[in-house]
Amino acid sequence: MNIPEAKLQSIQDQVNSKIHWDTAEDEVADWLEEKHGIAGELATSMITQALRKRRKEIRERAFYLLIFSAVGMSIPGSYLAMQWMTRRISLFLTPIAAVVFLICFASFLRALSRLLSGQTDAPIDP
């Protein structure tokens, strides 16, 4: 099959977008065959390239979330540590700090999971 380079790049961009928004691989392969007549090894390589790009974007976003959640954990964490060391507990601020710490900790774990696996169960936000 002889496809011009510019058209091939345009099709690759469309495949990247479909994979980016969490379209199933089989559905993308069927779309490539129906709309553009691309099947076999070329279709597989286009989908593989799009999957690599998606995993890279997931890991990049996970890295930023990991940093922000670590900073977010350090602020209430240091407050809670000071409360614990001085043995003075504020009945108003301590529960709020604990909840914020737990939310940041959950975000940290989710980001760590995404960073290590490169997988997410949702489309990547733009």
Query: In the chain, what are the domain boundaries?
Result: 5-117
For residue 36, pLDDT over 60 is answered with yes
pLDDT band at 21; cut points 50, 70, 90: confident
**pLDDT in the model for residue 125:** 66
* Mean predicted lDDT score pLDDT of the chain: 89
In whole angstroms, how far apart are CA 82 and each of 70, 76, 103?
18, 10, 20
* Helices and strands counted in the chain (H then E): 4, 0
| Residue carrying the six token digits 């914020």 | 100
Residues recorded for the chain: 126
